[in-house]
Structure formats: structure tokens, C-alpha cells
Amino acid sequence: MRSTNFTRVSEFVFVGLSDLPGVQLPLFLLFLYIYLISLAGNLLIVLLIIVDGSLHTPMYMFLSNLAGLDVFYSSVTSPRLLSDFFSDSKAIAVHHCITQFFFFFSFICIELYLLAAMSYDRYIAICHPLHYIAIMHPKICAQMVSAAWIVGFLTSLIHTLCINRLDFCGPNVINSFFCDLPQLFLLSCTDTFINILVMFLVGIIMGSGAFSMTLIPYIRIVRTIMGIHSHHGKLKAFSTCTSHLTVVFIFYGTLVSTYLRPSPTSSSSGDRLVSVMYTVVTPLINPIIYSLRNKDLKAALRKSLHRIGIF
């Protein structure tokens, strides 16, 4: 039951990463550098895949979507984080806060399903190479990508609608630098049992579904690779999966530590460090991992630089 004897707050106030004056400028420069490199790296991957015909394959179609998604993903939180370093008031209107959460959580869910689609792509490429072109048809790939975006937005919409049932009547300080479910639950003066139940149910149903679709193909991949007699053949097959697996472990590890745990009673600096990892650092790590270990992308970059006379 909602209580009517309270005054709703109209805005929240972020604590930010640090309130020490001496570290504001170094932190601002650090996160500005990370954000710009993240934008440049992901946009470069998207551009290379678009302009280079040799990269017009299902794997790179998924990768271009992942890179484009990381541009949106980091842009939901990083610009606000940067502006707050030199802002006297770190206030954000409640409806703006909920909007930020909607897009932020949408992009998390979309990435989960894109990673699952990329696992399936690797499974077909390694376990059924002769049927790869027929199975991973461009139309099928486009449908998989569209489904990831649609399901991601719908999943986030469920949580957003549940947040709208909550009342916030003080305190209004968010011990973080962006709006997320755990922090909003802490500030609500409405019983959050339904929200927490929905979070766990949706997490178990949708999250475990995405995780299963990511993990099961790799079980089959490992079995297939172990059946390869050539040591060189095994290494070559594993090398096509290591970049994707690294991204999967990092992404799922930070999400589990944030969402699939008991409801917090307070928000600590450790929570903020985890938040930094999956909101700011992960979009930077993805292009680094894929570009450093991908010969096709490096060859496409050299070709593009040669065309414009730089290399």
C-alpha cells in the first residue's frame, strides 16, 4: 500500500566518484580519455566493417552491432559523469533519472543477446563449417540482431514500469554517478518487494536464457575442438573464440556482482568501482580485445589508411 502522507522528491543528487577537490581534474582527464578512446575505437570498428567488403560476414555484422551498441552504452553515463566533476549541483530530475536507467538497462540487455548470437555464429562456423553460409544467411542474422534489440528494450521497459510504481520521499542522495536499480531501491519509501521479485524473475528467465544461449554453443565447440587431432588446428579453432569469451566473462562477471545478489542496505565505494567497470571500462575493453586479436580488422585498417595515403 502506498502512503499518502509524504512529500515526493522531484530530483536526486549524485555523490559522484569523489568529492576531493584535488582529484577532480585528474579523474576528469582520465575518464575523458577513456570515453574518447572508447568512442573512437568502437566507431572505427563500425566504419571499417561498413567500408571493407571483406568484412561483410555474419561475424562482423554482429561485431559492428556490438561496437555501435557500446557507443550508445557508454554515452548514457559518461557525459553526465564528466560534467559532474566540475558541477556544484549534481542534481538530476527523477523522470530524467528513470529515463537514463531505461536506456542504460536496455543496452545491457541488448548486449547479452548479441553476445549469445555471436556464440551461435562461432558454433556454426566451427561445428558446421560446410553449412555456415546456408545457416548464417544475412536475413537470418538481421532477424537475430533485430530480436536482440527488441527483447532488450522490452525487458528494460518492464523494469522501468515497475520503477514508476515507486514513491521517493527522501533522502534523495544517490551514492553513485548514474541511476541504477539498486540505488533507486534504496531511496524508495515504497515497499520494493515486487520490484526485487521482478528483478530476480526477469534476471533468471531472460538472463539465464541469454547465458544458456551463450554457454551451450561453447560446450559443443569445445567437444568439436577436442576431436581435432592437429595441435595447430586446435589452437586455430580456439583463437577464433578467445576474444568473444573474454568479453563474455568480463560482462557477465560485473553484471552478476551488481544485480544477482541480495538487496543492498547501503551503497559503498566498492559498488561504485564495479559500476565504473561495466559502464565506463567495458566499452573500452571490447574494441581493444577484438582489434588486437583480429587479423582481418587490422588488415582492413591498414588497407583504409593506405587508401588515404597515411600508411
What is the DSSP secondary structure assignment for residue 93, as one 8-state letter?
E
Task: Indicate if the alpha-carbon torsion angle 147, 150, 154, 156 is positive or negative.
Answer: positive
What is the DSSP secondary structure assignment for residue 249, as one 8-state letter?
H
| Interatomic CA distance for residues 113 and 210, integer angstroms | 6
All residues at 6 or more sequence positions from 183 whose CB lies less than 8 Å from its CB, including other chains: 174, 175, 176, 267
Query: 34-38, 162-166, 278-282: which has the minimum mean pLDDT?
Result: 278-282
Closest to 236 in 3D by CA, of 153, 122, 151, 136: 122
Higher pLDDT, 128 or 237: 128
Average pLDDT for 98-116:
93
Query: What pLDDT does residue 259 have?
Result: 66
Backbone angles phi, psi at 129, to 5 degrees: -60, -35
Query: What pLDDT does residue 120 have?
Result: 93
The DSSP element (H or E) to which 91 belongs, if any, is: strand 91-93
Is the per-residue pLDDT at 96 higher than 90?
A: yes
Closest to 196 in 3D by CA, of 251, 248, 265: 265
Distances (CA, A) of 264 to 3, 10, 193, 258, 259: 23, 23, 13, 10, 10
- How confident is residue 261, by pLDDT bands cut at 50, 70 and 90? low
Share of the chain above pLDDT 70, in %: 92
- How confident is residue 141, by pLDDT bands cut at 50, 70 and 90? very high
Question: pLDDT by residue (tens digit) across 203-253?
Answer: 788 878 888 899 899 888 888 888 877 777 777 777 778 877 888 888 888
Query: What pLDDT does residue 3 have?
Result: 47
Higher pLDDT, 86 or 109: 109
Question: pLDDT by residue (tens digit) across 281-310?
Answer: 888 888 888 776 678 888 888 888 777 766
- How confident is residue 1, by pLDDT bands cut at 50, 70 and 90? very low
In the structure grid, which three cell numbers stand for residue 297, read together? 580488422
| Interatomic CA distance for residues 133 and 76, integer angstroms | 36
In this prediction the pTM is: 0.88
| Interatomic CA distance for residues 114 and 146, integer angstroms | 10
Provide the mean pLDDT of the chain.
85
Is the per-residue pLDDT at 142 higher than 90?
A: yes
Average pLDDT for 258-273:
59
All residues at 6 or more sequence positions from 109 whose CB lies less than 8 Å from its CB, including other chains: 151, 152, 153, 155, 156, 206, 210
265-303 burial, b for 16+ CB within 10 Å, e for fewer?
Answer: eebeeebbebbbbbbbbbbbbbbebbbeebeebeebbee
Question: pLDDT by residue (tens digit) across 155-184?
Answer: 999 999 999 888 898 788 988 889 988 888
All residues at 6 or more sequence positions from 32 whose CB lies less than 8 Å from its CB, including other chains: 82
Query: What pLDDT does residue 92 have?
Result: 93
All residues at 6 or more sequence positions from 265 whose CB lies less than 8 Å from its CB, including other chains: 186
Count the helix, strand and coil residues of the chain and give each as a percent rounded to the nearest 5: 75, 5, 20
Give the count of beta carbons closer than 10 Å to the beta carbon of residue 227.
Answer: 8
Query: What pLDDT does residue 202 have?
Result: 83
Question: pLDDT by residue (tens digit) across 51-75?
Answer: 988 889 998 999 999 999 999 999 9
Task: Indicate if the alpha-carbon torsion angle 69, 72, 77, 78 is positive or negative.
Answer: positive
